[in-house]
Amino acid sequence: MHMLFYLGIILFTGMIMAKILSKFKLPNVTGYLIAGLIIGPSVLGIIPQESSDKLSIISEAALSFIAYSIGSEFNIQNLKRLGKGIITITVFEALTAVALVDLVMIFVLKQSIPFSLVLGAIAAATAPAATLMVIRQYKAKGPLVNTLLPVVAIDDAVGIIAFGISTTIAKALVSNTESISIVKIIFIPLLEIFFALLIGFIMGILLTYLCKKAKGEDGLLSLVIATLFATAGIAISLELSSLLACMMVGATLTNLDPNNKKAFTTVERFTPPVLISFFTIAGVQLNLSILKEVGLIGIVYVIVRVVGKMLGAFLGSKIANFPKTVQKYLGFTLIPQAGVAIGLSMVAQNTLPSPYGAQARTIVLAGTVIYELVGPMITKIALIKAGEIEVGK
């Protein structure tokens, strides 16, 4: 069959499954992933494996939009208003999860260092969509919600930077197992991150200029998409992080032209089918046969990441002297993991040699389904315990 037929099936099944699961108050992303799993080679085989592999360009496009959206949160004025406390909490909750997963994978489960570093870096990412859905649905409000919202907004950016460093170190270890210098391990990741951000900064300046010349929303949308695709293409061609580059495009635009909200809102009209395809394709590529081999590793990853998030959120909140309710319950609201984590797992699959890349992706995808199923329910319970949702709602 033609690839467009498969793409149509992917969109239809993703939307139908999301609609079905919405009846059970589950997030759409869970429906997309399960739909992909059902129509993929692991279950019904409607979408063959070789065809799903050819759809990787859609995943790369979706990642560009996700990173661009995250970059829009990096307005310097907004960050100043949030204060150092929020930054402290975000860094602690993200990097504690990274460190714990790294340590457990290397020293307890005796996994390879490149595999452990990449999987640990993905642990930092949190999905704000499911959390925000719970807050809006139950009209939650209070110190915990006020802390949670900015934390989830900038959390993924910390994760992307950690992932950029970890993957570069992993690539160096894989390619030079005999001669690795500390200078090379530190210098190369920083250099790659610098150039990825530089590309994004230059393209962001260009986009800021072009936006002022755009005529109408259609013209603006076309300019943004063209810039993001060009940025991602340049970064991928140079083997740099397209996520960091596209994130920098959004950050540059929002700081040079902070009143230009349309450059971000118009993109939202274009992205729904791209994101549905992205998540559903991720489900299609979930290889259930690998689960038998990575079962213990997957279970440990799911548990240790949650422990890392909770411990990091507690420590960060305590150091920043936030209210007791925030210290106690913030970690419970940071469990969901979806878009960025799935995107990073795709990069990991291309970075690590077989079978480690496929294992990392399968673990993350399986973990995503678990997190998205239980995350919103745990978030609701935490907000009730914190007294920010009225009991009975």
Write the pLDDT tens digit of every residue in 320-355.
988 899 999 999 989 888 767 887 887 888 777 777
Task: Please name which of 320, 309, 314, 330 lies closest in space to residue 85, comparing C-alpha atoms.
Answer: 320
125 DSSP 8-state letter: -
The pLDDT of residue 392 is 56
Task: Please name which of 55, 62, 119, 40 lies closest in space to residue 285, comparing C-alpha atoms.
Answer: 40
Give the up-direction half-sphere exposure of residue 175: CA atoms within 13 A in the CB hemisphere. 10
- The answer to whether the Cα torsion of 337, 340, 346, 347 is positive or negative is negative
Cα–Cα separations (whole angstroms), residue 351 to 50, 55, 219, 357: 19, 18, 36, 7
Question: Three-class SS string for 271-296?
Answer: HHHHHHHHHHHHHHCCCHHHHHHHHH
Q: 120-163: per-residue pLDDT in tens?
A: 999 988 876 667 767 877 788 888 888 887 788 678 778 878 88
Coil vs helix vs strand at 175:
helix
Residue 84: exposure state from Cβ atoms within 10 A (0-12, 13-18, ≥19): exposed
Amino acid at 227: T
Residues of the chain with pLDDT under 70: 78, 82, 128-130, 133, 153, 176-186, 189, 290-294, 339, 391-393
What is the pTM assigned to this prediction? Answer: 0.75
Q: Does the domain formed by 56-279+292-385 have CATH 2.60.120?
A: no
Task: Please name which of 388, 368, 381 lies closest in space to residue 27, comparing C-alpha atoms.
Answer: 368
The pLDDT of residue 308 is 95
Q: 266-298: per-residue pLDDT in tens?
A: 888 888 898 888 888 888 877 777 666 667 888
Domain ranges of the chain: 56-279+292-385
Give kind and range of the element (H or E) at residue 379. Answer: helix 356-385
